[in-house]
Amino acid sequence: MCVLCGQDFVAQVHWTDRHLEDRARAAAPGSDPTEHQRDRRRERAHRVALTRKVLRHYGLKLDDWGGSKYVLRDGKGRSEIVQDLGSFWPAAERLAGRTLDPLEPRLVEALGEEPAYAATDGG
């Protein structure tokens, strides 16, 4: 564990990243490992963009931290570091101070009204 940031350097791969890790391991010897890294970063950025759309409804924001963790922030300046997308939801509820429902009708309606390009707007 890092004494400065409190982060554990030994982490298991979350299921949202598992298929990329499995594909990299199964790659033929001599294949380009940087291609797998690009795929991993691209898919991770896409997941962050989609998650941001949901969290924006609750006044929260998610950022990628070095491709290994996520930083969840609220509008008051509070933040939490989360290991993977599986642990971000409880952290989001703590920061929001309430139970969050991803199937809340107003959220589903708002997501349906957003143009397709909004998923990758970076904010």
Q: Where do the domains of the chain lie?
A: 33-120
Q: What is the pTM of this model?
A: 0.65
Cα distances from 42 to residues 13, 28, 56, 111, in angstroms, run 17, 21, 21, 22
- Find the angle CA(25)-CA(65)-CA(58) to the nearest 5 degrees: 115
What integer best gives the mean pLDDT of the chain?
A: 78
Reference 85, options 39, 123, 50, 120; nearest CA is 50
Distance CA 106, CA 24 (A): 40
Strands of 69-74's sheet in order across: 60-65, 69-74, 79-82
Looking at residue 71, what is its pLDDT?
95
Average pLDDT over residues 66-85: 91
> pLDDT tens for residues 43-74?
889 989 989 999 999 999 999 998 889 999 99
